Amino acid sequence: MTSLRTTAEGYLLAIEADSISFDTVSAWVDNLMAEMPDPPPSVIDACCAGEDVNALMANMRQFPGELDLAAACQQMLFHMKNTLAEMPELEPKIVNKLHTFALENGDAAGDHAEFMRGLERELGQADDGAAAELRQKLAALLDTGVAPPAGA
């Protein structure tokens, strides 16, 4: 079972990549609070953050449970895929976030780390044919994303 901390991190990574809205994450925290009979202080504090993105994010980083960064990465990929399908103009931002994530957390990116690190540079240098092939590989990577657990 995915820990609350891991699910929160998946949302946080998606916020940082502009792949999910603050309102969506805030609503998830509110629903979480409503579903928990005895919510931990970090959930209560996150729920009370209001419109303060930094406070929400800081409190979510304190959610209980062991962090599985690889699983959080899978959730980030899921959100990126949905965002890219709706707003293809965000591709450069998503590619940059993949690059940064792989540089900072190569182990969590697993077999995709090298591709994620090099994608931004390669897309910038590619001709149309090579760029199309790289975008197909990006789509395949995003297809490996996993939705956050329901109700968590």
Tens digit of each residue's pLDDT (9 = 90 or more) over 42-63: 999 999 998 899 999 999 999 9
DSSP structure class, residue 112: G
d(CA 132, CA 134): 5
Are 119 and 99 contacting, i.e. CB atoms less than 8 angstroms apart?
A: yes
Are 13 and 61 contacting, i.e. CB atoms less than 8 angstroms apart?
A: no
Residues 6+ away with beta carbon under 8 Å from 106: 113, 117
pLDDT of 75-131, one tens digit each? 999 999 999 999 999 999 999 999 999 888 888 888 888 899 899 889 888 888 999
